[in-house]
Structures are given as structure tokens and as C-alpha cells.
Amino acid sequence: MFRVKICGITSSQDAAVAAEAGADAIGLNFFPKSPRYVTPEQAAEIARDLPSGVLRVGVFVNAATPEVLRTIQCAGLDAVQIHGDEPPSVLRELAAVPTIRAFRCSLEQVPNCLRYLDECHTIGRMPDAVLIDALQIGQYGGTGHRADHGILEKIRKKYLKTHLVLAGGLNPDNVEEAIRSEVPDGVDTASGVEASPGVKSPQKVAAFVANARNAFRHADLRR
């Protein structure tokens, strides 16, 4: 899937910054209420000149499946991230595309996440990755709040082979510690590398990617 994703990209310039810094993926947000919202047409323009090795991930919140499929086609997406209250059946409807299931989750709500994944297993369509974001009622990511410690470990105990991505409040200053303590398979940031909502800081993006990759290298050596 990916190790380092820069989410909430709103311009070709910021997409180029992420790619040049060495990010594996960018996130394009199709939730109209987000300050990082882009249209499918804007997303296509942003992604057009990206290197082929950089994954283009579309972020959706409670969007109808036909809308998601149209956006995949229009924007040339490589994967989708469902970040709302979508039921497991939506993953089966999106079986043709790699899908990341995001959970806005506190430590106390991990059993709910596991029940969701159990149902995915039952219907024969597990997410290709699980992303854990901080829980903020009424908000769907990009809040700058950290996810609770220990969530990934609890999910990993039951679903060992699931690609686990840590998000929520990550920035250049804390991403190394987060990788060391949580040992995710990937990390994701949006507001943590911004100069203002929807506008990335090239310096912060470069530092975030470098620090994350350094932490992953050390983690790999310990495995």
C-alpha cells in the first residue's frame, strides 16, 4: 500500500512538493465540507504530472458508490479511502479498487472496529488497509488531534496481516516517536504539514517524510 501519505493536497504545486520529498502517496479529499475539498476535475489536474510511483488516493465521506466510481474514473485514482460511516458492504461494492477503511476511533471503541472487520471478513471483502484517525465528534479527519495509544496493537492482535496506517495529529516533530511506539505499517498527515488549511508547507512536508522514513528504517532493522 504505502508508508508515507500526504493527505489533503489541493494544488499541483503541493502534489509536486510531496512527490519530490519522497512521499509514497497523496490524498485528494472529495468531502465538500472539508477545507481541503477538491472537485474530480481539479484532482485530475493535480494528479496529472505526478510520477507513476506516487499513489493517488481519493478520500470520501459517506459518498454513494456510483459517485465514487465516477470520481475514480475522472480523477485517475489508484485507491480510495472511505472515511465516514459506510457499512462493510461498500467495500464489496468497491472490490475492483484498493480500498482503505478509516476509523475515527478511541481506545474504548476498538471493539466496534473489530466487529466491523469481522463483518468484512464474513462477506469476503477485507479492506486493503486500515487507517486509524483520532475521534472528534462531527469531524472527519484533519483535526490535528492524536489518536489514542495502543489502538493499532489491539487490531493487529486479531488481524495480523492487515496493513495498518496511523493518522491523527502527526507532524514532523512527533512522527518518529509515533512510529517507534505504535509500529504502524504507514503514516498519514494533512494538517500537520500545512502553512494554512489546504496549503502545504514545503519545509514541513520534507521534514515529515524524512523523519518518517528514518523511523521506518530503524523499525525494519529491529524486526
Catalytic positions, written as ranges = 7, 133
The three cell numbers of residue 156 are 493487529
> Residue 141 gets which letter from DSSP?
S
Instruction: Decide: 57 and 78 in contact? Cβ < 8 Å.
Output: yes
Tracing cell 492487515 back to the chain, one arrives at 162
Cα 167-202-176 angle, rounded to 5 deg: 40
DSSP 177-209: HHHHHH--SEEEESGGGEEETTEE-HHHHHHHH
Cα 9-11-12 angle, rounded to 5 deg: 110
CB-CB neighbours of 45 under 10 Å: 15
Phi-psi region of 104 (alpha: psi -120 to 50; beta: other; left: phi over 0): beta
Cα 195-55-97 angle, rounded to 5 deg: 130
What angle, 0 to 180 degrees and rounded to 10, lies between the N-to-C axes of helices 175-182 and 202-222?
30
Instruction: Decide: 76 and 52 in contact? Cβ < 8 Å.
Output: no
